[in-house]
């Protein structure tokens, strides 16, 4: 949450910062701002989107080749111009942008007010700015890079909480200082210019050489050089990485929205998740990143899958998959619950933290808690440089490419794809035969083409979305493997169209949910031709008997559905356990087209941010 970008070099900073902020806007879009250092600090900030900031800068231009900027997802303090970043210290000579939460800010603020400090905002960040300013002023000697670094270090020792920050001081014009704890921060190494950013997507148009800073790192940079130390004053090792993706990968291309682009990327993103991981020789999956010997894999007695939001829904599919394919007892726990719950787990329980971004605060905390208790904790991540990927004991990368739309789409299918590979691997060392293994692999390899055929129905699904755009509430219902898909369909619908939506197991209807059914409340049944198809049809009949409109997702050739449902969207046939990879696609398209019809901002839904780095 919140995106920051800093620039130091020879070019005009403002256009570079604005462009970087546009790429980071998915991280928060309550307000935006920048500060440019050119002799003295110039500040431009306002509430609303980056476009508002761009308009402000067009009216009141700023020049200079050193600057820091921010796009905000509000935590402390409402959405106002004053609370927008950057914030200044008491002297007005030091500026900071911050992603994270300073938990003890109120205590610090009270102490500073008692000493005569004045604050312009309600933010925790402004307190940190004042604190760094105090340390800077208290340090002896000339203005220097070292003095600014020491001031940042001194202030950070006093704060409790999380931060990714960029700081500059009018008296030290050739230096930017960055630091991180709990919030991501990347150093981009250019030619005669350097960058700080929350995410490489902000700088990939300028450089693909990056250092992913670690917790407690402090970096000081000028246009040609940088120096990394730690908050405690020690030295810090670092690695320069080459960013895997290009500027094109983080642009919308010809699509009107990132979400639609990412939905249509799924045949390729799923193929990428499977590529090189299916061995025909041994008819099993190969997942070297798990870092586990065959014996260790055989000894797994229980699996716990944890994540948030869509990742948690993928985990729910994983629970069904792992129990079905590998017969290993599996449980799913919201990461936010896991971290506080103290689940009884024996030592042979394997824990997986599932996260597209690899930066979700609750999932990271669950991972750390699990490791603290001595459990091997693996990750299923998309972002290779993320904190969760780095801190886990091993894992599997999704290789889905950057996902920018706030609504998760391709990450869901990649997560489910990876969990299927895991099920195949564990199933083959327990009870699955060679021929069963081969059959599963063939079915998996056929999935991307089947997804392509579903995507061809986008216009048809759009017509259904428009037909039901009157709905104020919707039900999503499914059984067995389709139950988590129903949950995911409901999340997509409410998150981007703001239509109240609920996901339930179909059979739960009669235990209460059915009271909500009426002609104004359409139900979406995920009813592929699986072992519970007839049961699902009975549940559809129950809804129709109460005059509830029904959209059904069914398998090609399953004509029974046309007799009971008002509209049917067909998916190609596949084994029950692979159906989530197909049945979720129409739900993504349905929510997308409905949200567009309602004029909603699909890629940046209200109140949300892509990467939830606060608790």
Catalytic annotation, pick one of 2, 308, 312, 600? 2
Rounded Cα distance, 502 and 474, in Å = 7
- We find the least distance from the C-beta atom of residue 117 to ligand M6R, in angstroms, to be 36
294 Cβ contact list (under 8 Å, min separation 6):
429
Question: If binding is defined by CB under 6 A, does position 149 make contact with ligand M6R?
Answer: no
User: For residue 470, how far is the Cα from the chain centroid?
Assistant: 30
Position among 250, 305, 406, 475 found at the interface with ligand M6R (CB under 6 A): 406
Rounded Cα distance, 180 and 492, in Å = 32
Which DSSP category does 86 fall into?
P
What sign does the dihedral 309-504-587-446 (CA atoms) show? positive
Which DSSP category does 198 fall into?
S
Q: Which stretch binds ligand M6R (CB under 6 A): 74-82, 353-361, 436-444, 457-465?
A: 353-361
167 Cβ contact list (under 8 Å, min separation 6):
68, 94, 95, 96, 132, 148, 152, 176, 177, 178, 179
Residue 124 or 362 having the CB closest to ligand M6R: 362
Question: If binding is defined by CB under 6 A, does position 54 make contact with ligand M6R?
Answer: no
Instruction: Select the residue whose beta carbon is closest to ligand M6R and give its number.
Output: 309
Residue 410 or 504 having the CB closest to ligand M6R: 410
Q: Which stretch binds ligand M6R (CB under 6 A): 52-60, 209-217, 306-314, 319-327?
A: 306-314
Residue 215 or 403 having the CB closest to ligand M6R: 403
Q: What is the dihedral of CA 409, 414, 420, 421, to 10 degrees?
A: 180
Known catalytic membership, residue 494: no
Rounded Cα distance, 410 and 267, in Å = 9
Catalytic annotation, pick one of 45, 261, 494, 610? 610
Residue 2 or 66 having the CB closest to ligand M6R: 2
Q: DSSP string of 273-295? A: HHTT-EETTTTEE--GGG---HH
Q: Which stretch binds ligand M6R (CB under 6 A): 51-59, 92-100, 234-242, 401-409?
A: 401-409
Q: DSSP string of 413-479? A: HHHHHHHHHHHHHHHHTTT--HHHHHHHHHHHHHHHHHHHHHHTTHHHHHHHHHHTTT-SEEEEEE-
Question: If binding is defined by CB under 6 A, does position 612 make contact with ligand M6R?
Answer: yes
Q: Which stretch binds ligand M6R (CB under 6 A): 203-211, 279-287, 307-315, 455-463?
A: 307-315
Question: If binding is defined by CB under 6 A, does position 183 make contact with ligand M6R?
Answer: no
Known catalytic membership, residue 547: no
- We find the least distance from the C-beta atom of residue 140 to ligand M6R, in angstroms, to be 45
Question: If binding is defined by CB under 6 A, does position 386 make contact with ligand M6R?
Answer: no
Rounded Cα distance, 18 and 113, in Å = 34
Position among 53, 101, 186, 407 found at the interface with ligand M6R (CB under 6 A): 407
Residue 35 or 612 having the CB closest to ligand M6R: 612
* Catalytic site positions: 2, 610
Binding residues vs ligand M6R (CB under 6 A): 308-311, 355-357, 360, 363, 406-408, 411, 491, 495, 611-612
């Amino acid at each position: 949450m919140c995106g920051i970008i800093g620039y130091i070099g020879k070019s005009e900073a403002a256009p570079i910062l604005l462009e970087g902020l546009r790429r980071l806007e998915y991280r928060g879009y309550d307000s935006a701002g920048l500060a440019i250092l050119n002799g003295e600090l110039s500040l431009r900030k306002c509430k609303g989107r980056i476009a508002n900031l761009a308009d402000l800068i067009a009216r009141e231009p700023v020049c200079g080749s050193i600057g820091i900027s921010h796009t905000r997802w509000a935590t402390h303090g409402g959405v106002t111009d004053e609370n927008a970043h950057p914030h200044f210290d008491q002297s007005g000579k030091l500026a900071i942008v911050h992603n994270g939460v300073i938990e003890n800010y109120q205590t610090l603020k009270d102490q500073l007010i008692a000493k005569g400090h004045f604050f312009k905002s309600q933010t925790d960040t402004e307190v940190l700015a004042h604190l760094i300013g105090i340390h800077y002023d208290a340090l002896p000697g000339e203005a220097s890079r070292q003095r600014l670094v020491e001031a940042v270090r001194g202030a950070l020792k006093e704060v409790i909480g999380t931060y990714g920050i960029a700081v500059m001081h009018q008296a030290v014009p050739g230096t930017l200082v960055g630091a991180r704890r709990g919030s991501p921060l990347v150093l981009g190494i250019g030619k005669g210019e350097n960058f700080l950013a929350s995410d490489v997507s902000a700088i990939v148009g300028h450089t693909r050489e990056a250092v992913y800073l670690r917790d407690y790192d402090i970096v000081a940079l000028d246009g040609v050089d940088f120096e990394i130390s730690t908050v405690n004053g020690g030295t810090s090792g670092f690695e320069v990485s080459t960013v895997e993706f290009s500027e094109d990968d983080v642009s919308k291309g010809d699509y009107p929205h990132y979400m639609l682009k990412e939905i249509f990327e799924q045949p390729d993103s799923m193929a990428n998740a499977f590529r090189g991981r299916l061995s025909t020789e041994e008819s099993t999956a190969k997942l070297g990143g798990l870092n586990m010997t065959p014996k260790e894999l055989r000894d797994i007695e229980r699996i716990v899958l944890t994540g948030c939001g869509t990742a948690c829904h993928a985990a729910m599919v994983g629970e069904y998959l792992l129990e079905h394919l590998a017969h290993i007892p599996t449980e799913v726990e919201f990461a936010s619950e896991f971290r506080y719950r103290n689940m009884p787990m024996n030592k042979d329980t394997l824990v997986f933290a599932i996260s597209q971004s690899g930066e979700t605060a609750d999932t990271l905390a669950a991972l750390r808690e699990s490791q603290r208790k001595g459990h091997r904790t693996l990750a299923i991540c998309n972002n290779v440089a993320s904190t969760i990927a780095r801190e886990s004991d091993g894992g599997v990368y999704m290789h889905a490419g950057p996902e920018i739309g706030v609504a998760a789409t391709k990450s869901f299918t990649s997560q489910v794809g990876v969990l299927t590979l895991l099920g195949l691997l564990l199933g083959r060392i327990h009870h699955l035969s060679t021929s069963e293994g081969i059959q599963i692999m063939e079915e998996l390899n056929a999935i991307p083409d089947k997804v392509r055929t579903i995507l061809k129905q986008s216009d048809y699904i759009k017509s259904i979305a428009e037909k039901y755009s009157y709905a104020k509430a919707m039900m999503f219902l499914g059984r067995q493997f389709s139950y988590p898909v129903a949950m995911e369909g409901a999340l997509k619908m409410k998150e981007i169209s703001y239509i109240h939506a609920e996901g339930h197991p179909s059979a739960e209807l009669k235990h209460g949910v059915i009271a909500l059914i009426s002609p104004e409340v359409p139900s979406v049944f995920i009813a592929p031709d699986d072992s519970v198809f007839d049961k699902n049809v009975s549940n559809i009949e129950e809804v129709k008997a109460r005059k509830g409109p029904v959209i059904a997702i069914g398998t090609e050739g399953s004509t029974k559905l046309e007799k009971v449902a008002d509209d049917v969207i067909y998916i190609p046939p596949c084994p029950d356990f692979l159906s989530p990879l197909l049945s979720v696609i129409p739900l993504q398209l349905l929510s997308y087209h409905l949200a567009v019809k309602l004029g909603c901002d699909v890629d940046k839904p209200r109140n949300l941010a892509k990467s939830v780095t606060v608790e």
